[in-house]
């Protein structure tokens, strides 16, 4: 197999999904069959679901916070840290994961496209999101100390838009014209959730090279030039040739 060459003329955009955290013990979404305690994930991860039953939503995220608190980054996360150290600002990591494991592993140039599990914001006023590890397993809905409104996790839910500055940062990286060649690598993602699933085509539009590392075939596997089937924690550490 031809290696993923990361040399001084390469800039690399990485997209990660739940599969990259799977070997750390964080459950994937499709792995739950799209259900949590028999509720469709849309019911616990959407503004409509929060309006209908905010206590249920807090029970779901309390369980996710509990599950993500004690896990550790795995060799897949660590490989991405080494690649970033090698490439510097010719590296950008866009993640759909909200567990913070990339940052804990040591990645610095991270765009958390879907938000942060350990951050909370107010659903009712413009107070800035804040770091928060609190859990509410009995479904108590925490209140905002500025407006007494409902607090919610700082997560981009189904039907919500991604932060425009996050999309701009990714778009600017893709369209950068500095003489380097763009390589895109997606790992551990089902290729079914947008806009992340469309990045491969944005990269192809500027003639970038595209790689997919995934345990199963993804919804958009055929859009990639290279598909390496396997677990990210096993594949990523030996995939790249750094020069
Ligand atoms: N290594 C690589 N890939 C893996 C591994 C692994 N160890 N384990 C599972 N996978 C693959 C699965 O085959 C699957 O294709 O990772 C993918 C995980 O898919 P999803 O659970 O759908 O996760 P993701 O693509 O990140 O979901 C996107 O959907 O529910 C929303 O906002 C949520 O960010 C999430 C988004
Ligand atoms: Zn408020």
Q: How many CB atoms lie within 10 A of CB 82?
A: 15
Quick one: pLDDT at residue 27?
A: 81
- Superfamily covering domain 4-26+73-114+162-242: TPP-binding domain (3.40.50.1220)
- Superfamily covering domain 30-70+120-155: SIR2/SIRT2 'Small Domain' (3.30.1600.10)
- Comparing CA positions, the residue from 90, 14, 23 lying closest to residue 230 is 23
Quick one: pLDDT at residue 61?
A: 96
> And the tokens for 93?
């990591």
> And the tokens for 233?
């924690």
Ordered by start, the domain boundaries in the chain are 4-26+73-114+162-242, 30-70+120-155
Cα distance between residue 41 and residue 9, in whole Å:
42
CB 28 near ligand 1, within 6 Å: yes
Annotated binding residue at 106? no
Mean pLDDT per block of 10 residues along the chain (243 residues) reads: 90 98 88 84 94 96 93 98 98 98 98 98 96 94 97 97 97 97 98 96 98 98 98 98 94
Annotated binding residue at 107? no
Q: Tell me: cis bond preceding 195? Omega within 30 of 0 counts.
A: yes
Ion ligand 2: residues, CB < 5 A: 122, 124-125, 127, 144, 146-147, 149
**DSSP per residue, 189-235:** --S-STTGGGHHHHHHHTT-EEEEEESS--TTGGGSSEEEES-HHHH
Cα distance between residue 117 and residue 154, in whole Å:
7
Phi and psi angles of residue 193, each rounded to the nearest 5 degrees, phi first: -115, 130
CB 48 within 8 A of CB 39: no
Quick one: pLDDT at residue 1?
A: 67
Q: Check if 114 is active-site.
A: yes
The answer to whether the 4-26+73-114+162-242 and 30-70+120-155 domains have the same CATH topology is no
């Amino acid at each position: 197999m031809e290696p993923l060459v990361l040399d001084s003329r390469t800039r690399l955009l990485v997209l990660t999904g739940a599969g990259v955290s799977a070997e750390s013990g964080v459950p994937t979404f499709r792995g739950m069959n799209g259900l949590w305690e028999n509720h469709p994930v849309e019911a616990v991860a959407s503004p409509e679901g929060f309006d209908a039953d905010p206590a249920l939503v807090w029970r779901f995220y309390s369980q996710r916070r509990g599950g993500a608190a004690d896990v550790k980054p795995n060799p897949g996360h660590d490989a991405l840290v080494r690649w970033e150290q090698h490439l510097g600002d010719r590296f950008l990591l866009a993640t759909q994961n909200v567990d913070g494991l990339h940052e804990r592993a040591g990645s610095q140039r991270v765009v958390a496209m879907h938000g942060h599990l350990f951050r909370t914001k107010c659903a009712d006023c413009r107070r800035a999101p804040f770091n928060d590890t609190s859990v509410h397993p009995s479904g108590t809905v925490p209140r905002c100390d500025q407006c007494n409104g409902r607090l919610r996790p700082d997560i981009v839910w189904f039907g919500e838009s991604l932060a425009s500055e996050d999309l701009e940062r990714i778009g600017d990286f893709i369209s950068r014209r500095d003489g380097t060649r763009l390589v895109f690598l997606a790992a551990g993602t089902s290729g079914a959730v947008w806009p992340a699933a469309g990045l491969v085509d944005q990269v192809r539009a500027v003639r970038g090279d595209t790689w997919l590392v995934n345990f199963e075939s993804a919804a958009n596997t055929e859009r990639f030039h290279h598909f390496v089937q396997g677990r990210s924690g096993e594949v990523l550490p030996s995939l790249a040739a750094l020069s």
